[in-house]
Chain A
């Protein structure tokens, strides 16, 4: 095939075919459109205001590495006036997270951003290695996912930031839409396409790569020669997501716009009022102060199960009944420190 010129500048040779548009463009135009689209996503959703302190959830993987690089570039180019931080969660997975954290430490030097690492061990008293030795490889992703979400918020509170950005890309969001449809999880289906989520009690969280294709993120990292880590977690991957992912990649191979189309479908869903009424309202966990849809938040339930030697308690009904029959939690079990939002008054001060 003869080399073709860039569809945008018509000067340089095209090196990449954009999955979103089918356009064939050169390296410089690719960098420019990729960065500009992320900038447009940020400005259209009005994600930031000058002076904001923003933590980038950094795993050392491709998405968060590219996110840190692009956030820094855009903050300089368009003068967002943001103070950027890297925030990493150390799940305590030997041979996986310890290696990827080395990448984050290099990123800290390369991008000149302060880095905070918060470990599961420090926060919950349990590493994922220890959890897997208790629960096996079957349900451990539940623990990891619930614990990571809360750890990110707590790490952000320690950094006193206003906002967490994560590297979730268009493919991730389309996958989540599919999974929520297949599981009938209406509450999550409603919110999984929001670019920014903020409960009353939580730190703002957003996804500047919401419309960025994974292919372009990986191409960007490749052409910019960014330093990222890519190894599959050594514990069993989320099998359900894996199926959604393979299905989505097959769809994309047949029709590249499928990913953005699924996101648009997700955005267009409207939840009926009578369905909304059946959903649980947000409350505060009575034990740790974190947002929760039950008296106890999921992390506290999971931790209590671990501490009492019934790790499945928050996952299966049978184990939950077993735990309940043994009576309430004893005083000397480890719990999660009380959650306080940066700038928020301690809970005692609100009570008249």
Chain B
């Protein structure tokens, strides 16, 4: 199965949920089941390119160390967390449905910490 390499950055305090490490390099499958939710994967065997929603669950299952509810809410990134795809607001890139490309850099920044 082919895979793609992605650079992940956490900021704004979100890194605390990920071993207090801001920068990660990960390798994820290029094609994933239609439902990104690992729990539903068997029910939907068809393939699609790995997208950010898939990546979010992948990070939960592989890198997240604590308090999932501070990262994921209702099947998406928790409101108040900004996501950037190669330094562009993910709202311009289709949000969770953005199909990840080899070498992409995805940044997650929490805005919820004190100012």
How far apart sit A217 and B111, CA to CA, in the bound complex (Å)? 9
Q: How many residues of B contact A (CB 8 A)?
A: 25
How far apart sit A62 and B92, CA to CA, in the bound complex (Å)? 24
How far apart sit A17 and B82, CA to CA, in the bound complex (Å)? 11
Partner-contacting stretch, out of A74-82, A128-136, A249-257, A265-273:
A249-257
How far apart sit A13 and B98, CA to CA, in the bound complex (Å)? 17
How far apart sit A267 and B56, CA to CA, in the bound complex (Å)? 39
User: Shortest Cβ distance from A276 into chain B, in angstroms?
Assistant: 32
Across the interface, which residues of B come within 8 angstroms of A233, CB to CB? Answer: 114
B16 CB–A CB distance under 8 Å:
yes
With known contacts A1-B93, A62-B12, A252-B79, A15–B87 Cβ distance under 8 A: yes
Across the interface, which residues of B come within 8 angstroms of A1, CB to CB? Answer: 92-94, 98
How far apart sit A218 and B115, CA to CA, in the bound complex (Å)? 10
Q: Is the CB of A214 within 8 A of B111?
A: yes
Across the interface, which residues of A come within 8 angstroms of B94, CB to CB? Answer: 1
Across the interface, which residues of A come within 8 angstroms of B80, CB to CB? Answer: 214, 245-246, 249
Q: Is the CB of B115 within 8 A of A169?
A: yes
- Chain B residues with a Cβ under 8 A of chain A: 11-13, 16, 78-80, 82, 84, 87-89, 91-94, 98, 107, 109-115
Q: Per-residue 0/1 for A1-23: is the Cβ within 8 Å of any B Cβ (1 yes, 0 no)?
A: 10010000000011111000000
Q: Is the CB of B13 within 8 A of A232?
A: yes
Q: Is the CB of A215 within 8 A of B115?
A: no
User: Shortest Cβ distance from B2 into chain A, in angstroms?
Assistant: 23
How far apart sit A4 and B88, CA to CA, in the bound complex (Å)? 11
User: Can you name 24 A-B pairs with beta carbons within 8 Å?
Assistant: A1-B94, A14-B92, A16-B88, A16-B92, A17-B89, A24-B92, A62-B115, A214-B80, A218-B82, A218-B109, A219-B89, A222-B109, A223-B87, A230-B12, A230-B13, A230-B110, A230-B114, A231-B113, A232-B13, A232-B113, A245-B112, A246-B79, A246-B80, A249-B78
Across the interface, which residues of A come within 8 angstroms of B88, CB to CB? Answer: 13-16
How far apart sit A249 and B78, CA to CA, in the bound complex (Å)? 9
How far apart sit A168 and B82, CA to CA, in the bound complex (Å)? 19
Additional 10 contacts, C-beta under 8 A, given A15-B89, A168-B115, A222-B109: A14-B88, A14-B92, A62-B12, A167-B115, A172-B115, A214-B111, A217-B115, A222-B82, A222-B107, A230-B110
How far apart sit A64 and B84, CA to CA, in the bound complex (Å)? 23
Q: How many residues of A contact B (CB 8 A)?
A: 34
Q: Per-residue 0/1 for A223-261: is the Cβ within 8 Å of any B Cβ (1 yes, 0 no)?
A: 100000011110000000000011001101100000000
Contacting residues of chain A (130-179) with chain B, CB-CB under 8 angstroms: 167-169, 172
Q: Is the CB of B87 within 8 A of A230?
A: no
Cβ-defined partner of A218 (8 Å) among B16, B78, B111: B111
With known contacts A172-B115, A249-B79, A231–B13 Cβ distance under 8 A: yes
User: Shortest Cβ distance from A257 into chain B, in angstroms?
Assistant: 14
Across the interface, which residues of B come within 8 angstroms of A253, CB to CB? Answer: 79
A304 CB–B CB distance under 8 Å:
no
User: Shortest Cβ distance from B15 into chain A, in angstroms?
Assistant: 9
Across the interface, which residues of B come within 8 angstroms of A232, CB to CB? Answer: 13, 16, 113-114
Q: Per-residue 0/1 for A297-330: is the Cβ within 8 Å of any B Cβ (1 yes, 0 no)?
A: 0000000000000000000000000000000000
User: Shortest Cβ distance from B76 into chain A, in angstroms?
Assistant: 8
Q: Is the CB of A231 within 8 A of B111?
A: no
Q: Is the CB of A61 within 8 A of B92?
A: no
How far apart sit A14 and B79, CA to CA, in the bound complex (Å)? 22
Q: Is the CB of B115 within 8 A of A61?
A: yes
Determine the residue in chain A with the shortest Cβ distance to B15: A230
A107 CB–B CB distance under 8 Å:
no
Determine the residue in chain A with the shortest Cβ distance to B94: A1
A59 CB–B CB distance under 8 Å:
yes
User: Shortest Cβ distance from B87 into chain A, in angstroms?
Assistant: 6
User: Shortest Cβ distance from B114 into chain A, in angstroms?
Assistant: 5
Determine the residue in chain A with the shortest Cβ distance to B112: A245
